Chains A and B, each alone.
Chain A
Amino acid sequence: MSYIGSHILARELKKGSAELLILSLVEDQPRHGYDIGSLIETRSGGVLRFNVASLYPLLYRLERRGWIQGRWVEKAGQRRRRYYRLTPEGRKVLAAQRDSWVEFVRAINLITGIENA
């Protein structure tokens, strides 16, 4: 993948799917911001990367919508960190977004013929 290609892909993907990514990552366990950021970067093999300036606004927006909830957690010997976990409302949204994402990818594949190539 060329640099330009990956750049555009990353931007488009982020736009459409950032919410889905974050909701997915906090589905099973609460995570803090740095954790979420690192996971997105490593699991996408470095293609997707959110820096602080774009990640936190997203988190706050999701929190404001009531899909995730942040809570300060103090562990022994560590400084307190803010952990985000999925709310019941967020769980419904995640399910719906996942469905529509699958739908979307299938549609793209059908058009571009990637799946059956």
Chain B
Amino acid sequence: MRARVYWPVTLAAALLVALLAYGLTTTATDTTLDSAMARGDRVDPPTSAALPLLGGEGTGSLADYKGKVVLVNVWAAWCNPCRDELPLIQKAHEMMESRGGTVLGIDVKENSGAALKAVDEFDLTYPNLRDRDGSFVREWGQTGYPENYVIDRDGKVAAVRRFPVTQKWIDETLPPLLDESA
């Protein structure tokens, strides 16, 4: 009798523990990219899924920039450190454009009106995609705002910056990659 009473309880407890474990593993920050960068490896992007274009129809993805060096800038207009670095990012884009590179902005978790207002305010001339709910950058192991990832001409992730960029970082990171051939 005792066994008949307790087996459903045990089963329910096991299911709850399994559910908790699944929830923890699926919401934990992915550090694969950081480990690869720490080893000095270049790796495939965690995802290159298509995202809606900001201020336009259709979608865009990293695949659209094959053969180019791409500085992926993760930002949002509500994030002050992101706003602080936008002038630097625009300047980097102007430098990269003539050397076979581009900045690709990923605007995260905000309405397009607010994002477009910032694009106008900072005179951003590079393309921007919209990660409406943050699921794209989650796969990149995003931990905060802003973040920057550099993709080389072979489409591999060559550098990751988990906090605002500096001119020094741009000068040290981008030119060597722009000098590489595909």
Chain B associates with chain A = no
Residues of B that sit less than 8 Å from A by CB: none
Chain A residues within 8 Å of B, Cβ to Cβ:
none
